[in-house]
Structure 1
């Protein structure tokens, strides 16, 4: 790449802003989830409202996954610039659509508008990942794990800002619909920065690897598909509870769950800056093993927390566990399968997005089933007193969190075996070449 045309530092800022924007969107959805449930879905079907809001939130991840599946191949053709511009358009259109939905009478039409709007934000999210991850991998080929973790530190930074803005909007007794406009400013700034910047080619294109060679690289390496399958579970452990936290934890510990998400996100923002030194000591796969232990324990402790203090303690364990999962999985694949290019990274993101599409509605269904069970039947929900309903919701919240606590623990044998094999062969640790196996 030409140093006269490519400003690496400026592009890194573009990447940071794009990840910040999608983190902001994640917080906005967590902020408005209880409002969507109360103002729309409870009025349509009280007994199944949690499943319905889970489906609505989940379609965001469908859009995210589909964009990564197809956009990661397209980014080599249309370029990173166009892909990032599409992401900004998706967020602007999705935010305006959600606001329009709040002005409509409750019914099937408003459901459709909500789903389409959330799908658009998901498409914008996927476009960011499809462009930003290969961009950083191309800009910093010598330190992918460290740089990708720092890049994705701006995801929790966006959650912190979006979460605090949401709390402030509620504290000021302002209409909750204002949350939808929080996304417009960074989306417009991103569009302006992208329009005036020059972007590099992806690693695959720059190295002259053909599409055929790229797909051969992926399909002839079974280990790639092992990591791809693992991505389903690592993403579920991080993103599904994070999107569900405001609904569930608000009922468990009597505090705004979004505050807990803000705290965890601030913790993640700091910790992701130290991924490089940690990986040099225990390797990327070793980091995944340790992270999965902490994530599983933290999720289970969250379901048992009964006070804000215990919730924050449990959230600390969970946050330390999920902190490195997403960016480190991307870095592992980029290091081990460099010929896989943007498509390899896109397939990983697709796996993560589709996992949440299935997990969020499942959490909602578990929530609804437990809610009906605690009430003595779904038909009795409408006759409960406010105090009795609070107890029912609290019980359902605990059940929905415990259901996902086992997910990261299922990965321990997989990462443990790969970690031991790597150590035996002297690969991927203590500064060993990341490309030694792939070459």
Structure 2
């Protein structure tokens, strides 16, 4: 395939290849997310129930949550250094971290000589998080650079492959489980696309970021951090990410016990909705504006989480998951696009900080959900001793109550943003409507 000029007028960059590489890297992260969500119960029973059954859900949530801390740290460090370290190097390192992190978790029982198994699994998950963070560090500013006039649409299309990866990972995990494969074999599936995109990086030429191509200095980039509206968007990212990703990683432990079907099936269904709908984000954002799209997203996400907290059958679970899925569909990529379109001089730094906020949020929200789950199950059972004695239908009933409570509490988070995004939407309208800022390439600042 011949090289074509990129959006900034520089020849020699194959936009199609770069976009496909970004898609494969992000799909790898989605595949891993889905499989870990499906294996939450298996990890809990294999590693943590033997250690402390009363608090095993919180322990499981902690190791699942550390993925997002590793993600956040990688973005926070990698984003301001992206122009110096290079996109290709960081994507190659991401591939290696995906392989190393998953192998550590798979062989955790054999690596417990110096550390307890909890910490071995924790370290493996943290390395996986670094891998995911490096992917986001590169692909978001890369897409913004390749398509500066169409960021909201292209970032949504790119991020359609996050749920696309979730679908692939979920279906493969279900199939392998049906055929009798253990959790280790299912987790090893992630190694295949990780190695694939690592090889794709070799020999690929990457463009400078939009900020560098425009001649915007690093000093000017850091000055964008002081813009009040960016601070508002950055803080809002904590809540939008919590509404989308924390419930998604909690489906196996929670929903499986309340709706009478495997939670991963609902996650696959929701991901299918997201995959399709993200391809139409450009038209919706043009009609509503990106901030208007976010307002409606928060409304539906909050309603969907409330419905998930009372769903008690496959039908009600499917309905609740539909409302929640439509709500969270556009949140992550549209938040990134809003920051990039409003503050293009902020370059990779501002996009990266948005991702950092989102992942720090999950790091704390997942253990919080786990703690709510554990406290509620003990209270519903009538005490710790009573819970330990539960079996059969009564145990499932108590665990169902705990799951519903955890979803109900998280529903508050996107509801808070209705006032925030509503205010920004009205402010934009008072100034003649939303307008993306375009920087002139080659202009020094």
1:205 is aligned, of 203, 212, 221, to 212
Superposition pairs of residues 129-140 of structure 1, within 5 angstroms: 129-140=136-147
1:103 is displaced (CA, Å) by 4.9
1:386 is displaced (CA, Å) by 2.4
Tell me which residue corresponds to 2:125: 118
1:104 is displaced (CA, Å) by 6.1
Kept after mapping to 2: 8 A contact 1:303/1:398: yes
Looking at structure 1, the residues matched to 52 and 115 of structure 2 have their Cα atoms a distance apart, in angstroms, of 12
Tell me which residue corresponds to 2:442: none
1:434 is displaced (CA, Å) by 4.2
Looking at structure 2, the residues matched to 3 and 211 of structure 1 have their Cα atoms a distance apart, in angstroms, of 21
Superposition pairs of residues 353-364 of structure 1, within 5 angstroms: 353-364=359-370
Looking at structure 1, the residues matched to 409 and 357 of structure 2 have their Cα atoms a distance apart, in angstroms, of 20
Looking at structure 1, the residues matched to 218 and 405 of structure 2 have their Cα atoms a distance apart, in angstroms, of 46
Looking at structure 2, the residues matched to 50 and 433 of structure 1 have their Cα atoms a distance apart, in angstroms, of 44
Q: Which runs of 5+ in 2 are unaligned?
A: 1-5, 440-444
Kept after mapping to 2: 8 A contact 1:294/1:321: yes
Looking at structure 1, the residues matched to 251 and 185 of structure 2 have their Cα atoms a distance apart, in angstroms, of 20
TM-score normalised over the length of structure 1: 0.96
Shifted more, 6-15 versus 100-109: the winner is 100-109
* 1:335-383 CA distance string (max 9 Å, x none): 0000100000110001000000110000000000001001111122221
Kept after mapping to 1: 8 A contact 2:291/2:425: yes
TM-score normalised over the length of structure 2: 0.95
The verdict on how the C-alpha distance between 1:104 and 1:127 changes in structure 2, with shifts beyond 3 A counting, is closer
Kept after mapping to 1: 8 A contact 2:341/2:436: no
Tell me which residue corresponds to 1:99: 106
Tell me which residue corresponds to 2:25: 18
What secondary structure sits across from 1:191 in the alignment?
A: helix
1:297 is aligned, of 296, 303, 306, to 303
* 1:116-158 CA distance string (max 9 Å, x none): 1100110000000000000000000010000000000000000
What secondary structure sits across from 1:208 in the alignment?
A: coil
Kept after mapping to 1: 8 A contact 2:99/2:194: yes
Kept after mapping to 2: 8 A contact 1:102/1:177: no
Tell me which residue corresponds to 1:372: 378
Looking at structure 2, the residues matched to 196 and 100 of structure 1 have their Cα atoms a distance apart, in angstroms, of 33
Tell me which residue corresponds to 1:324: 330
Q: Which runs of 5+ in 1 are unaligned?
A: none
1:108 is displaced (CA, Å) by 5.6
* 1:376-425 CA distance string (max 9 Å, x none): 11122221222221111111111111110111000001100110111121
Tell me which residue corresponds to 2:181: 174
2:75 is aligned, of 68, 84, 95, to 68
Kept after mapping to 2: 8 A contact 1:427/1:433: no
| Alignment of 1:243 onto 2:249 | yes
In the alignment of these two chains, the number of paired residues is 433
Looking at structure 2, the residues matched to 88 and 287 of structure 1 have their Cα atoms a distance apart, in angstroms, of 34
1:37 is aligned, of 27, 35, 44, to 44
What secondary structure sits across from 2:86 in the alignment?
A: helix
Looking at structure 2, the residues matched to 118 and 105 of structure 1 have their Cα atoms a distance apart, in angstroms, of 15
Kept after mapping to 1: 8 A contact 2:301/2:326: yes
| Alignment of 1:262 onto 2:280 | no
Looking at structure 2, the residues matched to 104 and 252 of structure 1 have their Cα atoms a distance apart, in angstroms, of 35
